Amino acid sequence: MSSSRFVVTGGAGFIGSHLVERLLADGHLVCVIDDLSTGSLANLEAVRCHPGLEMVQSKVSARPGLAGDLRGARGVFHLAAAVGVELVVREPIRTIRTNLDETLALLEAAAAAGTPALLASTSEVYGKSAQAVFAETDDLLIGPPHLGRWSYACSKLMDEFLAMAYAAERGLPVTIARLFNTVGPRQSGRYGMVLPRFIDAARQGRPLMVHGDGSQTRCFCHVADTVEALVRLMGCPAARSQVFNIGGAEEISIRGLADLVRSVLRSSSVVELVPYDQAYAPGFEDMRRRKPCVEKLERYTGFRPRIPLRRIIELTASPA
């Protein structure tokens, strides 16, 4: 991309801050809109004084003149959202309102300004589906509403429907990226993210707490690979009105991940299994497997995440 101006909502968050650094390094101007409810200015410390950075502390939905912020921008990356399983389980109203209200405000402003939008969604929208590998055209199976665990998946899926509705009815150029377990430096374990929790415990010699029986499998993607994919998708006109998976292909059980973290960090910590009912709430349901098909991403952008898991753990454990 040639030098341009971009807006990043949630730009003080984990993924957002890495994206902001990348855009500034590429010579672009960046406006960050973040209410700092889960993000932190510390995440942007390396670029705090960068002349190309504008910081706006506000909820997207509460920002006066949001369309004016977007007007003339080459694109807006919408990363503002509720994050983490613990927050989802403990504050379901906040989860649903944050995801729906902020996305609706963003799409309305982007449509008014004529600014292309990239919506960060999640692999959670695949829900309880038992596919061995998840593709963007798969049917989605969400759990029942009395289990609050599914409120996040449902609200993010509604975000996707909203985005596609604005594309169809208002002509908004919009792309949807479903992220699969993005990890890396500056990610916090505060809201239940598994890899930073494991790394912190291993460093301190505390038990690595594995929820359930540990046989559930996931694929992890380093934030640098996620950011590369997001940037390429924003720069790909053919990706408009399309959904793309972004994630690694190296599948590992959560118990295996705990053991690998112990090995990489040479930790003497033990692994303990914690029942879901104790870790979250009675009736909590987890997905047994979550592996993305990223062939479509590579076909459209020429890129697929490639950083191997052992190296991801090393990089995540390193200082930001």
Check which CATH number belongs to the domain holding 87 and give it: 3.40.50.720
318 pLDDT band, cuts 50/70/90, is confident
276 pLDDT band, cuts 50/70/90, is confident
Q: State the average pLDDT for the chain.
A: 93
How many domains does the structure of the chain reveal? 1
Whether 36 is covered by a domain: the verdict is: yes
Whether 129 is covered by a domain: the verdict is: yes
pLDDT of 84 > 70? The answer is no
Whether 66 is covered by a domain: the verdict is: yes
Whether 238 is covered by a domain: the verdict is: yes
Tell me, yes or no, if 280 is annotated catalytic. Answer: no
pTM of the model: 0.94
Catalytic residue among 126, 152, 166, 280: 152
Whether 108 is covered by a domain: the verdict is: yes
pLDDT of 283 > 80? The answer is no
Whether 118 is covered by a domain: the verdict is: yes
d(CA 172, CA 187): 31
Higher pLDDT, 149 or 228: 228
Whether 105 is covered by a domain: the verdict is: yes
Could you tell me if residue 296 is left (phi over 0), alpha (psi between -120 and 50 degrees) or otherwise beta?
alpha
Q: Report, as an integer, the average pLDDT of 190-214.
A: 91
Please give the residue range of the domain that contains residue 231. 5-180+221-249+291-306
Q: Report, as an integer, the average pLDDT of 101-116.
A: 97
280 pLDDT band, cuts 50/70/90, is low
Whether 140 is covered by a domain: the verdict is: yes
219, two tokens: 């694929």
282 pLDDT band, cuts 50/70/90, is low
pLDDT for residue 91: 81
